Amino acid sequence: MVLKGIAKIMEKQERKQESININKPDRKKKKKRKENYGIYIYKVLKQIHPDTGISSNAMRIMNNFLQDMFEKIAIESSRLSEYNKRNTITPREIQTAVKLLLPGELAKHAINEGTKAISKYTNTK
């Protein structure tokens, strides 16, 4: 008795699936986009050393490094906003996360460059 009910349900689902496949033409699936900072790494390299190139292996390593750092900063700033019982990550949490993750002078330079980039962005608006 129960098996007949299950069989009927499965037949209905199969018919429904067939009708869906008949009505829709075959479409190509879109490729999933992956984050890649290669363009920006290359631009910074050319600003610092205009005559130097970078191998694809080194580019992959730099790209992975940037992805890891952004992920660590996001996790730490999220944790800081939870500690402060806030739902929004503010620039203050991001700055504190950078100070916690990067050592000494490197953190100061990163914060200065970030502040400079934000002020440049707001001035262009």
Per-residue DSSP letter, 93? H
- Among 20-29, 95-104, 115-124, the range scoring the smallest mean pLDDT is 20-29
d(CA 95, CA 90) in angstroms, rounded, equals: 9
Structural domain total, the chain: 1
Print the domain residue range for 88.
Answer: 36-47+59-124
What Å distances lie between residue 17 and 5, 14, 125, CA to CA?
19, 5, 51
Question: Residue 95: inside a domain, yes or no?
Answer: yes
For 6-43, what is each residue's pLDDT tens digit?
666 667 677 666 655 555 667 788 888 887 999 999 99
Question: Residue 101: inside a domain, yes or no?
Answer: yes
Question: Residue 82: inside a domain, yes or no?
Answer: yes
Question: Residue 74: inside a domain, yes or no?
Answer: yes
Residue-wise DSSP of 14-42? HHHHHHHHHHSPP-PPPPPP----HHHHH
Question: Residue 63: inside a domain, yes or no?
Answer: yes
d(CA 83, CA 7) in angstroms, rounded, equals: 54
Percentage above 90 pLDDT, the chain:
67
Q: What is the pLDDT of residue 125?
A: 77
Question: Residue 53: inside a domain, yes or no?
Answer: no
pTM for the whole structure: 0.69
Question: Residue 7: inside a domain, yes or no?
Answer: no
- CATH number of the CATH domain containing 118: 1.10.20.10
